[in-house]
């Protein structure tokens, strides 16, 4: 798991949005498996195997009035409706499998997603990317607005996904969260990477030291 830390305004969320194709880069390159990738929009990023679990879950991550199953299918309608007609049998089978995988509760797949807790909405978004066959998962503030019990479940899911071979990038303003999840941390400051920390060097003090702009000492 790669963690990205930094102060508000350091460019953490902007970086994830670039990787997810939501924003266009003006410089630099994105490479997947050593090959350059260019995204005209989120659809291209999804096709490349990238999925974003956004910070603004209710505004950017779900369609509130639609069911769990419908929300799950948003990123992979080309699979469930390749000729424009939805294969409801296959859709239901995949929904049961993926939502069981993320331990959705209550297990009511036809229920509007807005009626679920924040933690279970987050699980459903993760299930969406599993249904789409996503290899690279981007989490922006993955446990914001959810209770302690759901936090533990999301942490466990992220750790399992990484262990299964998914590439996982986590942006979080909660340093204990970054420290728990990440094997490596990039610290951002003013839109650039200020430091790269590896497991034995990751601490709140080390992250803060690189995230906070250093005041210049006036010369004598």
Residue 218 has pLDDT above 50, yes or no: no
CATH fold of the domain at 7-182 = Rossmann fold (3.40.50)
Q: Are 87 and 76 in contact (CB under 8 A)?
A: no
- Rounded Cα distance between 21 and 78, Å, is 19
- Rounded Cα distance between 25 and 75, Å, is 23
**Cα 194–chain centre separation:** 22
Note the pLDDT of residue 217. Answer: 42
Average pLDDT (179-184) is 96
What does the pLDDT look like over 42-94, one tens digit per residue?
999 999 999 999 999 999 999 999 999 999 999 999 889 888 889 999 999 99
pTM of the predicted structure, to 2 decimals: 0.92
Domain layout of the chain by residue ranges: 7-182
Q: Could you tell me the strand order of the sheet in which 184-189 lies?
A: 50-53, 136-140, 167-171, 2-6, 184-189, 192-198
């Amino acid at each position: 798991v790669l963690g990205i830390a930094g102060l508000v305004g350091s460019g953490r969320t902007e970086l994830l949005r670039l990787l997810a194709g939501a924003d266009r880069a003006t410089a630099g390159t994105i490479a997947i498996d050593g090959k350059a990738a260019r995204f005209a929009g989120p659809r291209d990023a999804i096709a490349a195997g990238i999925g974003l679990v956004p910070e603004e879950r209710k505004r950017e991550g779900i369609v509130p009035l639609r069911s769990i199953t419908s929300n799950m299918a948003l990123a992979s309608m080309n699979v469930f409706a390749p000729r424009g007609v939805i294969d409801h049998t296959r859709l239901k089978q995949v929904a049961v499998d993926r939502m069981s995988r993320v331990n959705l509760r209550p297990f009511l797949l036809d229920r509007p997603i807005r009626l679920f807790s924040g933690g279970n909405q987050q699980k459903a978004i993760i299930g969406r990317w599993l249904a789409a066959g996503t290899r690279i998962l981007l989490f922006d503030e993955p446990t914001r607005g959810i209770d302690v019990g759901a936090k533990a479940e999301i942490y466990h899911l992220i750790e399992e996904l990484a262990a299964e071979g998914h590439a996982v990038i986590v942006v979080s303003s909660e340093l204990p969260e970054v420290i728990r999840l990440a094997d490596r941390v990039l610290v951002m400051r003013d839109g650039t990477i200020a430091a790269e920390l590896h497991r034995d060097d990751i601490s709140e003090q080390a992250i803060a030291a690189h995230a906070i702009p250093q005041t210049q000492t006036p010369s004598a």
